[in-house]
Structure 1
Amino acid sequence: MEKKRIHIFDTTLRDGEQVPGCKLNTQEKVKIAKQLECLKVDVIEAGFPVSSPGDYQSVQEICKSISDPIICALSRAVEKDIEIAGSALKNAKRSRIHTGIGTSDCHIRYKFNSTPEKIIERAIQAVKYAKKFVEDVEFYAEDAGRTRNDFLARVCESVIKHGVTVINIPDTIGYCLPEEYGKKIRYLKENVKGIHKIILSTHCHNDLGLATANSLSGIINGAKQVECTINGIGERAGNTSLEEIVMIIKQNSHLNLFTNVKTKMISSTSHLVSECTGMKVQANKAIVGINAFSHSSGIHQDGIIKKRETYESINPEDVGIDKFSIVLTARSGRSALAYRYKKLGYFFNKNSLDLVYSIFLRYADKKKEISDKELKIILEESNLMNDNKKKKLITID
């Protein structure tokens, strides 16, 4: 069976930047956009031009600087928003306006004080107006996760009739369970006339820690685009993490899916976004956290030294990291200690390793982690270092 391509829509520069305290200037946005182009994402959502003059300028400059990905600008279902988005995108080689409106009962009643019929009419008018500026128009049904499937299908069918090219089904507050979200996508695939003409997109938030799982369920059930951010940054608890969804697809060939992302650039892209936004990546973050390929348990260390696959499902080189890391703690065993000494050029027989290990444990019980500098101090304390300190085989008879 032929593999199905999943389009990667990166919204780091729009939804990702909405994190409190995360403010990017135009120069930083262009720098990240160029990195995303090298990463080979399919779409870059460059910003929300009507929100500020700075965001408008950033979208303009990104359009001038980027050639391959589609450059997308967000708008509400408001003519002024759409007009300004179209203006900001005028220099893009490939452009898209992303417009939409809330469709859940909660949004219709409390946010818009409106009715379902009026919401459909506003959705249609927004798409028709956006088509005056660009051919590629994406529609978002905000809070689709809590929208009744039959009404969501009506909205989708209405905008398809007026030329929309992509329909985004956001789980705006991270409400859905993976099975529920997948069923919602499947329902639309099976019940919306003309759905085959457009791309269905996922846009999942991580309020309950399910953003990546929901996006995966979405594409398994027929979505062809995933909206995500580097390091999973975004509103509140963040968005679907680009690195997670891309590597899940890469590592699970039975899904019969693929992306065009150059995965060996994931680590460097993560570092760049973290540096520019000031948003540190949590140590245990999947794929890009500092501990993602670090091992401190003696059992795990012994296994991974013998064969990497025993305790790693991903080759660190696939995401741009040179190798796994053996962290020496009080939980480490002899094999890990010997491994780290070998990296420094020291080799032990069994007796000498036992001696060094006994000293190592005394140090390790007092500290969280033992450094290379401390390994040399331990070696000196063991009296195994030769006088001229040349690195050679150290043995005890």
Structure 2
Amino acid sequence: ITGIHVQPNKAIVGANAFSHSSGIHQDGVLKHRETYEIMRAEDVGWNANKLTLGKLSGRNAFRTRLKELGIELESEDLLNAAFARFKNLADKKSEIFDEDLHALVSDEFISEAAECFKLVYLQVASITGEVPHAIITVSENGIEKRAEADGGGPVDAAFKAIEKMVNSGAELQLYSVNNITSGTDAQGEVTVRLAKGGRIVNGQGADTDIVIASVKAYLNALNKIQSKSERAHPQV
């Protein structure tokens, strides 16, 4: 009516009035709402309270949100691994969205597959007027290997450094980048398609750093090429 927006931190009617970001508060509200809320959000015009996932969130809030999204992890080990990835991401961005959770869990299932190659360390330099350079360390079946290379850009340099180590002979057919969430701290999701010996595989990787996401996707595709159980052609 007045055209004046209500401040988010305004008591009772502000957007953050029924929002919980602390792991202790989230766990308490999930177990017994009245622990931290003396009134219901619905009674003052809100649809429900809100658990904001971030670096302070705990395992219970993480597990609950996954269930609300219809995601059921088969074992406690999978949940623990996904939660560890969640905490790492939460240290990099202020708020975790549902799209981030889908990407985290998808990445976790990917990592559960047989992994011959794992990223250990990556350093890239892209300076105006100079050739981009990448230094990378990859674990191949538990043995760490290091290589460096120049390229047309930081991603190209990183891919060339990987090939110096693994010499896969695979042909890069597709490189695609999509943002999972909005904002400058959004996660980027990279898809890489490699072809070798009549086999075509898609690799995916997600990270707030697009170069790291690209390397994850490339290594994921290489792991699929190594896997004898991979189908001859991916669903595209």
**TM-score normalised by L of structure 1:** 0.27
Larger radius of gyration: 1
Structure number with the bigger relative contact order (C-alpha 8 A, sep ≥ 6) is 1
With the length of structure 2 as denominator, give the TM-score of the two structures.
0.45
Structure with greater helix share of residues: 1
More strand by share: 2
